[in-house]
Amino acid sequence: MDLTSGPMWAALFAIIVANILLSGDNAVVIAMAARKLEPNKQKKAIFWGSAAAIVMRVILTVVAVQLLSVPFLKIVGGLLLLWIGVQLLLDNEDDADVASHGSMMAAVRTILIADLVMSVDNVIAVAAAADKAPENMRVILLIVGLGLSIPLIIAGSALLMKVMERYPFIITAGAALLGYLAGGMLATDPVDKVWFADHVPNAEVLVGITGAVVVVALGQLLSKRKTEDKASS
């Protein structure tokens, strides 16, 4: 592994940022699942639940990264990521209906199940970030990046949610990052990669920037319409 590789460090940073930005809901689920445990068991449940969820996410993401070489899959993933980015900007936070448990193992099981259900956005975003790394480093970077995310998610997700509420521009920046990654996926699918390379200079960057702009603009437009609909009803 070349520790001086710019693309490697950029991909590692993108993996960590994307995973943390998209783990706020997961932190809520973890807190709700563990809230009825005895105090000495809460920290254990939070740690093991988060660690097990990250391991599961590594496996899912490794599979996703390998599948990104399949024609049209990057296009589908990119469109899904654009949608996720728009949703991140909408004030449409559904209350998680997660039962709390008195057993630590039951709490960890609940955390894992909930994380699996909610991890589609994380997997797609992290796979897109890892796809920018040199091919021989992707799996290692996924493991390192998601592993480093464990303590950051445990310690920082609740704080991040509070900061997002106070400083909404952070949510916009996160959505823009997803749009940028989505644009890169759309421009590098095996089906259209050659066309973009021949007709659009720096296609991955330019389409990525376009994706970021589209997500932010569309998200704000839909959010504004939603607010107006609520006001008129």
Residues 74 and 181 sit within 8 Å (Cβ to Cβ): no
d(CA 23, CA 69): 26
17 vs 92 pLDDT, higher one: 17
- Put residue 99 in one of left, alpha, beta given phi > 0 → left and psi -120 to 50 → alpha: beta
Q: Where are the domains of the chain?
A: 6-224
pLDDT of residue 70: 78
- Among 80-84, 98-102, 222-226, where is mean pLDDT lowest? 98-102
For range 133-139, the mean pLDDT: 73
* Global confidence as pTM: 0.60
Number of neighbouring beta carbons within 10 Å of residue 34: 22
Q: Which residues of 171-197 are buried (b: 16+ CB within 10 A; e: fewer)?
A: bbebbbbbbbbbbbbbbbbeebeeebe
Instruction: Report pLDDT digits (tens) over 42-88.
Output: 777 777 877 777 777 777 767 766 666 778 878 888 888 888 788 77
Helix, strand, or coil (residue 133): coil
Residues 31 and 158 sit within 8 Å (Cβ to Cβ):
yes
CB-count exposure of residue 4 (10 Å: 0-12, 13-18, 19+): exposed
- DSSP letters spanning 10-57: HHHHHHHHHHHHT-HHHHHHHHHHHTTS-HHHHHHHHHHHHHHHHHHH
Count of residues making up the chain: 233
Q: Which segments of 138-203 are extended strands (E)? A: none
Which amino acid appears at position 46 of this protein? I
